[in-house]
Every structure is written in C-alpha cells, then in structure tokens.
C-alpha cells in the first residue's frame, strides 16, 4: 500500500493528478508539465492505474510527487470495500452513485464500474490537503477522477490530447467537459472540436505543450554532409513513434521502396507498438530489411543521441481507420531542437509547427509517391537539410517554449484552488 505523506508546502494544498499507466514512455510532455508545476510551487500527488512502462525518461526522476497506485480491480476489491464503508456517508457519494447508475444504462458497463471502483478507492485514499483534481487525458483518467471529485466535493479540471478526443464517444467527452472547471488541449483542431460540442466553450483552453529546452540532454551534433552517393556513408533517416496506424510508417515503407536502388540511405525506427510485427513483415516483403534498424522503445537520452546523429527526421502522420490522429507530435519539436530537418505531412496540427518549405517539408498524408519524391530530394540535398534544420530550431525555441504553456496551466490551477478554498470558507461561515 502506498504511503502518502503529509503536505510539505503549497499555500492552497495539493493537486491530485490522475494519469493512466504512470510513467508512460509515449507521454514525456506530461512529466515535463508536472515538473514545471512543481518548480512553480505546486505540490502534487500522482494517482495512477494500469501498467507503467519499464523504460522511463530521465525527467520522471525529477518529480518529487508522491505516487498513489490504484490497484487492479481483481486485486483491489478489499480496498474498495474498506473505502466504500468510509466514503458512503460523504455528501457527494449519492451523486457518484447516481452517475454510475446513469452510465451503466449506456453500454460498456464493465469499464464504467471499474472507473467507479477506482474513484471510490481514490476518494478514500486521497489526503485531506488535496484541493483540486487534474486528469491528464479526458478518457479513462477523467472518468476515475470524476467519481472521486463528486465524492470528495473537489473541483475537477483536465486535459485532452489526441486519441482521447478522436476515439472517445462524443457524448462521454461532452459529459466529462460538463463536469470540469476547465480543460486544456494542445491543438487548434482539438480545441475547435471540443468547443463545438459543449454549451460552455469558454471551458476549453488551447495550451501548447511546447518543449522545455532544459530537459534536452546536452551533446554535440554529429551529422555530416552525406548525399546518398556513398555506400559507406548512407544518409541516416530517423523516425520516433509508436508502431500504430496513425503514425504512417507503413506508408513510409512504401515510399522507401520507391527510391532509386543506387541511393544510399538507412532508416532507424525507435518505438514499439501493436503493428510492429506487420511493419517488419512489410519491410521484408519490400526487400528493405537490410536497410532498416528497429531500435524498439528507448528513453529520451538515447532518443536525443540518435537525433544528433541523424540526417533527416521522418514522421508521415495520418488519420487511423479508428479515427485516431496525432495532434502536434512533441517528437517533431525535439528533432528541430537538434537542428534536424523534418519531413512530415500537412495533417492535423503539424503545419502549426512546421512552415512548409522554410522550417521543414510537408507532403499529403497517406501519399507514398509524394513522400518518396520528398525523401529523394532531401537525401540528395545536405545543404537544404542544414538550412531547414537551422530554421526549425530557431522557430521551435522562439515560438514553442514550454514555459508559457506550463505557466497558463499553473494560473488555471491556482485560480481553481483559490476558488475552492474561498467557497469552503464561505460554507463554514454560513
């Protein structure tokens, strides 16, 4: 059982941050934000459920927050029953139970019941100094947080990113928004969609993640001027991303197969995921296996080392068949921070970061032929790659500094906690 220590600091108490599978290798921006909040004086409690990734980014170790791991349902029934006995008399318990009954009428009963059980455990285990709950992702974490918020009578805020927006049911996303004081999202298209489905669009705040340069490991750039003519010095292409449909790596393999056979290149992929086996089989069928390195999941120290050695970063994002799509991939910002030229798609929010032809190259999503043409041109043009890389770094450091976004989140949380303390005092004095 986790031991949650007494509050050490924070004028208005603690913020309970609810996340799934903490820490997640695919979400370094979450750790970046939480570290930034701690640096601004917030005390955090991270409540999490689900399996964490074995590999973790170095920035995770900078967090001082206590971790409350909610149990698997099969292992946590005892905790639920003990918690239920303690919280069933809370003023908000009846509201939580009414929400569960309502949710159970609309399918996915098992998922809703699990969220309720975890919400009860969280409400019971949460220290008394917590003054607000902040759910990272508007899907499962927000569902758990919503029950705990009702039971404890605490304000709920949240964030929405990509998959949780585009693959969640419209009605459930609407309900989560209605329960929140505010919801931050990191792309214009996401913000516009969320505003369009709620009668309270002012709740939705567009706040970019950005990149904290201080979390970028130091190291010298190690790329040369390869142009694809020397077999001993192939142009190093790098992609970092989960092996899932929306990343478009199957399209990239098709494009690589279209390149002239005498062009010398090597593709390095970092990541793991559901379709990794399919991608490897596709590469074998296309005869590309000897030109590819599958590096698997890596922490950010290794990722940045590879970024500094690569000649071109490629991320052919597109919409998945399930409606999932990238927002503004942080890995593109990370690549540009290392003066690495980026080739991506004019899809979703990527054009917000990459100005086509000036700070990178964009092609239509899902178009293997256009991608192949752009690849060949950039492989043969080290001067163009260098120019794009320098312009990309200048733009990302000037326009996408994470400090601004973290400052906005901090201000919203501070206002939410102040309002809660003020209202609590008014109720006590009434």
The H or E element spanning position 67 is strand 66-69
Average pLDDT estimate for 306-318: 97
pLDDT digits (tens, 9 = 90+) for 203-231: 999 999 888 877 777 788 999 899 999 99
Task: Answer whether 14-210+402-429 and 219-399 agree in fold.
Answer: yes
pLDDT score of 6: 45
pTM of the entire predicted model: 0.88
pLDDT digits (tens, 9 = 90+) for 223-271: 989 999 999 999 999 999 999 999 999 999 999 999 999 999 999 999 9
Phi-psi region at 319: left, alpha or beta (left = phi > 0; alpha = psi -120 to 50): beta
Average pLDDT estimate for 8-22: 81
pLDDT score of 8: 47
CATH of the structural domain 14-210+402-429, one choice from 3.30.590.10, 3.40.50.2000, 3.40.350.10, 3.30.1540.20: 3.40.50.2000
pLDDT for 27 beyond 90:
no
pLDDT score of 11: 57
Pairwise pLDDT comparison (249 vs 54), residue with the higher score: 249
pLDDT digits (tens, 9 = 90+) for 360-392: 999 999 999 999 999 999 999 999 999 999 999
Average pLDDT estimate for 19-29: 90
pLDDT score of 421: 85
Average pLDDT estimate for 273-297: 97
- DSSP-assigned letter for residue 45: E
Average pLDDT estimate for 114-127: 96
CATH class assigned to 219-399: alpha beta
pLDDT for 7 beyond 50:
no
- In the chain, domain spans: 14-210+402-429, 219-399
- DSSP-assigned letter for residue 360: B
At residue 3 the predicted structure's pLDDT band, cuts being 50, 70 and 90, is: very low
Residues 320, 349 contacting (CB under 8 angstroms): no
Sheet containing 156-160: which strands, arranged edge to edge?
A: 66-69, 43-49, 14-20, 130-136, 156-160, 183-185, 204-206
Output the average pLDDT for the chain.
92
């Amino acid at each position: 059982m986790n031991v949650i220590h007494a509050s050490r600091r924070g004028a208005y108490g603690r913020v309970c941050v609810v996340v799934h599978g903490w820490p997640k290798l695919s979400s370094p921006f979450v750790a970046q934000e939480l570290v930034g909040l701690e640096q601004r004086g917030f005390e955090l409690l991270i409540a999490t459920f689900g399996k964490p990734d074995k590999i973790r980014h170095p920035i995770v170790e900078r967090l001082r927050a206590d971790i409350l791991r909610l149990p698997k349902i099969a292992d946590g029934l005892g905790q639920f029953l003990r918690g239920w006995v303690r919280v069933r008399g809370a003023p908000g318990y009846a509201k939580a139970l009414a929400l569960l009954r309502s949710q159970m009428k609309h399918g996915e009963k098992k998922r809703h019941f699990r969220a309720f059980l975890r919400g009860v455990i969280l409400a019971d285990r949460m220290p008394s100094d917590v003054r607000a709950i902040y759910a990272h992702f508007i899907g499962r974490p927000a569902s758990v947080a919503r029950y705990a918020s009702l039971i404890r009578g605490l304000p709920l805020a949240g964030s929405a990113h990509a998959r949780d927006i585009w693959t969640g049911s419209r009605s459930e996303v609407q309900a989560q928004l209605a329960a929140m004081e505010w919801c931050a999202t990191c792309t214009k298209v996401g913000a516009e969609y969320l505003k369009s489905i709620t009668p309270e669009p002012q709740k939705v705040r567009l706040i970019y993640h950005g990149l904290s340069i201080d979390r970028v490991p130091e190291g010298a750039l190690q790329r040369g001027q390869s142009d694809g003519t020397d077999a001993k010095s192939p142009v190093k292409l790098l992609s970092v991303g989960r092996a899932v449909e929306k990343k478009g790596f199957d399209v990239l393999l098709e494009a690589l197969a279209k390149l002239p056979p005498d062009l010398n290149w090597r593709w390095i992929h970092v990541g793991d995921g559901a379709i990794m086996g399919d991608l490897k089989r596709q590469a074998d069928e296309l005869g590309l296996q000897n030109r590819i390195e599958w590096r698997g999941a890596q922490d950010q120290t290794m990722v940045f080392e590879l970024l500094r050695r690569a000649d071109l970063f490629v991320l052919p994002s597109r919409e998945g068949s399930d409606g999932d799509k990238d927002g503004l991939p942080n890995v593109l910002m990370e690549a540009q921070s290392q003066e690495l030229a980026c080739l991506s798609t004019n899809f979703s929010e990527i054009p917000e970061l990459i100005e086509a032809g000036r700070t990178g190259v964009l092609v239509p999503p899902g178009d293997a032929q256009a991608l192949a043409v752009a690849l060949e041109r950039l492989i043969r043009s080290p001067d163009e790659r260098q120019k794009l890389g320098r312009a990309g770094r200048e733009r990302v450091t000037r326009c996408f500094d994470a400090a601004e976004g973290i400052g906005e989140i901090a201000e919203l949380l501070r206002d939410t906690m102040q309002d809660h303390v003020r209202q609590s005092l008014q109720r006590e004095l009434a």
